[in-house]
Amino acid sequence: MLVGGTIFVVQVKNYKGRLVWEDTSERRRMQWKIGHYGETILPKPATNPVAQARSYIRPAKAYLSATCDARLSNVYMQPVGVFTRTAAITAIHSLDKGLIYVEELPMFFASRRNDRFAEHPSTWLLRGLRALPRLDVIRSKDGQLFRGFLEGSHLEYRGPDHRTYRWSWEELEVIYLESGFFSASDRVTVQLRSGQKLESAAVQGRVKMVSLDGQRAEHRLSNLPLIAPSPIRTTAKPVGLAARV
């Protein structure tokens, strides 16, 4: 997003519990949570959200400079890791490093204001931002969001009646999946861009995604309560990514 003449790459996290650094490198953080009965749950490691946001910048610049304007390769982009108030981030909080709460974003934006572009952003800069490919989003059962490019042209899964269902990513607006507690199948709700909503059941299916930095991952459909394909499907990927695919 472009705010006050600066481009911000924002990674939002909705975690619960206390967050601390795993070690002095500050590459990974640990999430400490308290259970429903007051018990301490084993800590869960995860990547620094600022590092996650930063990983998008290099391939995005490479893509924009190759497809839009070479000047975009030199534009500064500020990574930010943002948390909701469900997380206690006192141990990792840093306005300077961009590890903040959601409500601190306006103050952070103001502190990184770029007067050169604030009042009258250059046309080539705005054109480049509009040309950025929209990322697909999937969410796992534990609440983790993954953003990248869904592989293939369609979602495919098998129903309990052995019927194979295929949905083109282009026609899908969002897919919701509810686990079956007393059955071997999961309920799938498909919202089409035409406005039509359809329901079916799934017993088998996989979803493959490539992240913006070129990492490929495969997920079981049963572990994804939400899939949101980008409304803009594109075969053109950032060159930093395409080199790895």
pLDDT digits (tens, 9 = 90+) for 62-112: 888 888 889 989 989 999 999 999 888 898 899 999 999 999 999 999 999
State the residue for tokens 């903040």.
Answer: 100
Q: How far apart are CA 240 and CA 18, in angstroms?
A: 35
* Same-domain status, 123 and 152: no
| The pLDDT value given to residue 227 | 93
| The pLDDT value given to residue 146 | 86
| The pLDDT value given to residue 62 | 83
Domain boundary among 66, 96, 131: 131
| The pLDDT value given to residue 22 | 78
* Same-domain status, 149 and 86: no
* Same-domain status, 143 and 204: yes
Give the residue-averaged pLDDT of 174-195.
83
| The pLDDT value given to residue 183 | 64
In this predicted structure, the answer to whether residue 31 has a pLDDT above a threshold of 90 is: no
* Same-domain status, 214 and 192: yes
Report yes or no: 29 and 46 within 8 Å, Cβ to Cβ: yes
| The pLDDT value given to residue 17 | 81
Domain boundary among 131, 166, 187: 131
Range of the domain at 211: 136-242
* Same-domain status, 197 and 119: no
Give the residue-averaged pLDDT of 134-141.
87
Of 3-12, 25-34, 136-145, 200-209, which gets the smallest average pLDDT?
Answer: 25-34
Domain count, the chain: 2
In this predicted structure, the answer to whether residue 159 has a pLDDT above a threshold of 60 is: yes
Helical (H) or strand (E) element with 80:
strand 77-83
Indicate the pTM of the whole model: 0.61
What is the pLDDT confidence band of residue 39, given thresholds at 50, 70 and 90? low
* Same-domain status, 114 and 174: no
In this predicted structure, the answer to whether residue 226 has a pLDDT above a threshold of 90 is: yes
Contacting residues for 106 by C-beta, under 8 A, at least 6 apart: none
* Same-domain status, 30 and 103: yes
* Same-domain status, 27 and 115: yes
Dmax of the chain from CA atoms? 62
* Same-domain status, 181 and 221: yes
More confident position, 148 or 35: 148
Domain boundary among 131, 159, 191: 131
* Same-domain status, 123 and 210: no
Q: How far apart are CA 120 and CA 116, in angstroms?
A: 8
| Beta bridge partners of residue 9, listed in sequence order | 79
More confident position, 213 or 138: 138
* Same-domain status, 228 and 149: yes
Give the residue-averaged pLDDT of 137-147.
85
Amino acid (one-letter) located at 234? T
State the residue for tokens 């089409």.
Answer: 192
Torsion of CA 109, 112, 115, 117, to 10 degrees: -70
Closest residue by Cα to residue 6 from 151, 112, 156: 112
Whole-number average pLDDT of the chain: 82
* Same-domain status, 91 and 174: no
